[in-house]
Amino acid sequence: MPAHPVFKMTFAKVYPMYVKKAEAKGRTRKEVDQIIYWLTGHNAASFKKALKDEVTLEDFYNHAPQMHPNCGQITGVVCGIRVEDIKDPLMQKLRWLDKLIDELAKGKKMEKILRS
C-alpha cells in the first residue's frame, strides 16, 4: 500500500495552519509550540531547524527526539476517526497533534491538553 500523500507535505507548510486555527480562537503560537514540544520532544532550536529545513511530516515524526510517554492518553475523534483506533503509527502521530490543537482551539486548559 503506498504511503499517504500527506506524509510528504512539509511540517513548515502545516504549522501555520495550526497557529491560525489556535489564534482564531484566542490562543497563541506559544501554546501551539508548547504542545508540539510536549508531543515530540522537540525544543525551540530543533523545531526551528525542522521548519527551516522543510522536513516532511514523515521525517518530522519519525525523527522526533522523543514522543511523550503520555501520548497514548490522547483519545477522541479527528476528521471522523477515533485517534486511538488508527492502525498506522505515523498517521496516529499526525492525528494526535491534530487532536491536541483542536482541544486548544476549543478552549481546554493546557494542563488537560498536555495530559498532566
Phi-psi region of 115 (alpha: psi -120 to 50; beta: other; left: phi over 0): left
Q: Would residue 76 count as lying in a domain?
A: yes
Instruction: Identify the helix (H) or strand (E) that includes residue 81.
Output: strand 81-82
Give the chain's domain count: 1
- Assess contact for 75 and 82: CB atoms under 8 A: yes
Q: Would residue 82 count as lying in a domain?
A: yes
Q: Would residue 44 count as lying in a domain?
A: yes
Query: 17, 89, 81: which is closest to 58 by C-alpha?
Result: 89
Mean pLDDT on 63-67: 96
Q: Would residue 115 count as lying in a domain?
A: no
What would the pLDDT profile of 83-113 be if each residue is shown by its tens digit? 999 999 999 999 999 999 999 999 999 999 9
pTM above 0.75, yes or no: yes
Instruction: Output the furthest CA–CA distance in the chain (Å, rounded).
Output: 40
Q: Would residue 17 count as lying in a domain?
A: yes
- pLDDT at position 2 is 59
Q: Would residue 2 count as lying in a domain?
A: no
What would the pLDDT profile of 33-47 be if each residue is shown by its tens digit? 999 999 999 999 999
What would the pLDDT profile of 69-80 be if each residue is shown by its tens digit? 999 999 999 989
Helix count (H) and strand count (E) of the chain?
Answer: 6, 2
Give the structural domain span for 85. 8-108
Q: Would residue 1 count as lying in a domain?
A: no
Report, in angstroms and rounded to the nearest whole number, the Rg of the chain calculated over CA atoms: 13
* Number of Cβ within a 10 Å radius of residue 51: 16
The CATH number given to whatever domain includes residue 83 is 1.10.8.290
